[in-house]
Structure 1
Amino acid sequence: MALAVGLYFFAGWVGSSIPSNRNFVEDPNGVEIIVATNGIHTSIAVPLTSPDMDWTRVFPPSDTADPSRPYTHVAISWGERAVFLETETWADLSPMTVMRVIGVGGDALYHVEQWVRPAPSPDFRPLRISRAQYRRLIRALLRDLPERTAARAVYPGYATHDVFYDARGTYTTYNTCNEWTGETLRLAGIRTGAWTPFAGSVMKWVPPIEPAERGVGTR
């Protein structure tokens, strides 16, 4: 068992070290996105509204418990349903859930957070991408969203500014939440690893910010 775990982590390190979209360069006149991490899980934050996309039509702030805040960004990620809904903290994670995900995988959910002026930090790293890349990113972020219906389920989040939505796909040890982030970046033409199963696999490709860039914001 220990050997299998070690091989998995080694494969993750190798896969994430192989670059995709190696010719990517930031566009100083482009759209600023944020790649965020909590150390275990990653997400991609984009402007709530822009000439290319009004995310309020897909993920309306009115779905949150506090729709009155002046939200400026929406952070989108994908993950395993039971882990998302039943583990508000990692101490809540059931060993049975872990074994099931390892053995057969699990159903997916979108986790969507509404943010107010997120400040750059070591865990919230901005990237400027071209508008063409941003349009590709929009399509990639929406690729696992089921057909929108009036009865689409909305599940309460961990706080007043986040919720969960049904998503297509199956979470597995290969297709992890962080690999979903990596695949989203790859589809948009943004440089990242060829396989990104861990949070560090994603963040290793996003340049850290300089101290002077750090600002003040809220989420």
Structure 2
Amino acid sequence: MARKMRSGVIGGAVALAAALWLYLVAGAIGGAIPVNRSWTPPKTGVTIWVESNGVHTGLIVPKVAAGIDWRPLLRPDHLADPRFAGWSHASFGWGERAFYLETPTWVQVRPATVIAAALGSDRTLVHVDHVPPPRRTGADVRRIVLRPEEYRRLAAYLRASFAERPTPERGYYKWDAFYAARGHYSAIHTCNAWTGAALAEAGVKVGWWTPFPQMVLRWF
């Protein structure tokens, strides 16, 4: 009996490792296949940024640009310190509720939280940080210039990710908040896949499937 149990545990571990390896390989392949192949950035337009903290990616956009004004939705009273609403830009991210609230960085990542989110959840959130525009780009922040119509398509995608009545919740710090969201989170549709899909919807050249942060950033 003990031998059979041991064999079953080993077999399960091997199967799990194989599934994880296949997922990583599939993500690398999906992130390398471009959509919107003919897209090129304009010389002038609306400047946005894609950022990563190593776990979650987000899109930094101006609060007012190309006829889009985010201020009525992202109100100062949603923040622990309303003064931060005076910053000119907002960073948008989307993800599974427990994963978002419990894993602001890799230090807080717990396997049980990751597995539960990967299996699928309809409890999703939009995370918004009020920020100044990035001073410089680097390994974790990339600059993108969009045409006005491309930015409007991006903004429509972002807005559609919010629930119909997006009740705000206080965030990690004094300048961010979470909002109830639409969408089903899973190992297929991760927070990073959402970022890639948002850029693809705008018409930007990006990976076909971007489940990992690196698969988004590599295009910019």
What is the TM-score when the length of structure 2 is the normalising length?
A: 0.87
**What SS does the aligned partner of 1:33 have?**
strand
* Residue 92 (str. 1) matches residue 122 (str. 2): no
1:106, CA displacement in angstroms?
A: 4.9
1:193, CA displacement in angstroms?
A: 0.2
Query: What is the match of residue 211 of structure 1?
Result: none
1:38, CA displacement in angstroms?
A: 1.1
| Of 146, 156, 159, the match for 1:129 | 146
Q: CA RMSD for the aligned pairs?
A: 1.5
* Residue 55 (str. 1) matches residue 70 (str. 2): yes
After superposition, give the CA deviation of every residue in 1:120-178 in whole Å (9 maximum; x if it has no partner).
Answer: 22122111110010111111111221223xxx421111111111000011110000000
Matched residue type, 2:164:
E
Q: Distance in 1 between matches of 2:76 and 2:141?
A: 21
**What SS does the aligned partner of 2:184 have?**
strand
1:89, CA displacement in angstroms?
A: 4.0
| Of 173, 182, 202, the match for 1:159 | 173
Query: What is the match of residue 102 of structure 1?
Result: 118
- Kindly indicate which of the two structures has a greater share of residues assigned to helix: 2
Query: What is the match of residue 188 of structure 2?
Result: 174
Query: What is the match of residue 203 of structure 1?
Result: 217
Structure 1 gaps, min length 5: 207-219
| Of 104, 116, 120, the match for 2:136 | 120
Q: Distance in 1 between matches of 2:199 and 2:40?
A: 13
Query: What is the match of residue 74 of structure 1?
Result: 90
Query: What is the match of residue 38 of structure 2?
Result: 23
Query: What is the match of residue 143 of structure 1?
Result: 160
Conservation of the 8 A alpha-carbon contact between 2:31 and 2:208: yes
Q: Distance in 2 between matches of 1:124 and 1:92?
A: 22
Q: Percent identity?
A: 39
Conservation of the 8 A alpha-carbon contact between 1:105 and 1:173: no
Instruction: Pick closer, same or farther for the CA change 1:55–1:12 going to 2, 3 Å.
Output: same
Query: What is the match of residue 212 of structure 1?
Result: none
Conservation of the 8 A alpha-carbon contact between 1:61 and 1:114: no
- Structure (1 or 2) with the larger CA radius of gyration: 2
**What SS does the aligned partner of 2:161 have?**
coil
Equivalent residue pairs, number:
203
Query: What is the match of residue 32 of structure 1?
Result: 47
Structure 2 gaps, min length 5: 1-15
1:51, CA displacement in angstroms?
A: 4.2
Matched residue type, 1:134:
Y
